[in-house]
Amino acid sequence: MIYPLKKTQKLTVNVSYPHVGIITYADDTTLMYAASNEPSGPVAVAYDDNWMQSESGSVFFSNEDTLMRNDSTPVEVLTGITINATSTTFSNMPKGIKSIQMDAALLDFTLAGISAIESASGRSLALAGFANEAEAFTDPNVTYMALREAMEQCRFTMSTDTDIMILEGRSNRQALSWTPNKTANLPLLDGKLDTSDPRFERFEIISGEDSMISSADDSRMRRGNQLVAELGSLKVDSLSGVEISVVAFIYGDEKGIVLTTSEKVALAKASVVKRRYRGSVM
């Protein structure tokens, strides 16, 4: 079985439009959809009782000759399935998937690995956003818990490219990285914590009780074994300096784990440069 796909994880199959698909989830519930090329572009549409299929079973129209009709009962476009001229990509799936029937091709995820599924289905598959292929077929509660348990008792030593400065309201970025005092079961790149590991949901940098920036809002922050953060987006009142904490969130853990500055110090000190000119630039 392939486990729930997060927004950052994708399964791509070389099946384009038009086709009918049936997703069978781990709990044996199903989702039937149609892949259709509409005036607005290719879409996947959830099954409804107004479907009309051609004799080939592959071309779809509603009772008004278009799936993208605009009336009191619009069709449901499935945002977790994206389609282009050569392939269909699944992401952000809510549950584990046992199989996907795409016209005559059956993708059986109870088989052992992508190559076995490709051989049985005659289709090509590609994964993205996983540390490796095995992760896609492993219960995420197991892999996430292994990482969480490895980090719970770790202490980290932070490294920076220069002294930490918060340049209020500016686009300057600063690179931060962490070396753990224990390495077992941790994702590492050149001996430092690999912030791009997909088991991390997000990283937050916090200053005070109401000032925080998150990698969930900044796709450029996570870069291999660094966080390259736009610290000027933090809200700061002090002129003399502040302390910041960096928190790693593993999927399933909403409390987070602090990435310490050193084995004895939790927070990092940062100097503050207040924004001086606040008028518009002509």
Q: Please report which residue ranges of the chain form alpha helices under DSSP H.
A: 114-121, 133-136, 140-152
- In the three-class reduction of DSSP (H, G, I as helix; E, B as strand; rest coil), residue 114 is classed as helix
Confidence check: pLDDT of 259 > 80:
yes
Q: Please state the domain count of the chain.
A: 2
133 and 150 assigned to the same domain? no
Distance of CA 192 to the CA centre of its chain: 21
182 and 225 assigned to the same domain? yes
46 and 19 assigned to the same domain? yes
19 and 110 assigned to the same domain? yes
Instruction: Look at 45-49, 87-91, 103-107, 163-167 and tell me which has the smallest mean pLDDT.
Output: 45-49
The residue segments making up the domain with residue 30 are 10-138
114 and 194 assigned to the same domain? no
The tens digit of pLDDT for each residue in 187-214 reads 999 999 999 988 898 999 999 878 999 9
104 and 19 assigned to the same domain? yes
The tens digit of pLDDT for each residue in 125-184 reads 999 988 788 888 887 777 788 899 999 999 999 999 889 999 988 999 999 999 999 999
132 and 21 assigned to the same domain? yes
Quote the pLDDT of residue 15: 95
Give the end of a domain, one of 138, 156, 186.
Answer: 138
Global pTM? 0.61
Confidence check: pLDDT of 111 > 70:
yes
The tens digit of pLDDT for each residue in 243-253 reads 999 999 998 88
Strands (E), 121-267: 125-128, 156-160, 165-167, 174-180, 188-189, 192-193, 200-206, 212-214, 222-223, 226-229, 242-250, 257-258
226 and 261 assigned to the same domain? yes
Instruction: Note whether residue 4 is domain-resident.
Output: no
Give the end of a domain, one of 96, 113, 138.
Answer: 138
Instruction: Note whether residue 220 is domain-resident.
Output: yes
196 and 245 assigned to the same domain? yes
Q: Please report which residue ranges of 68-127 form alpha helices under DSSP H.
A: 114-121
pLDDT band of 71, cuts 50, 70, 90: very low
Give the end of a domain, one of 138, 166, 184.
Answer: 138
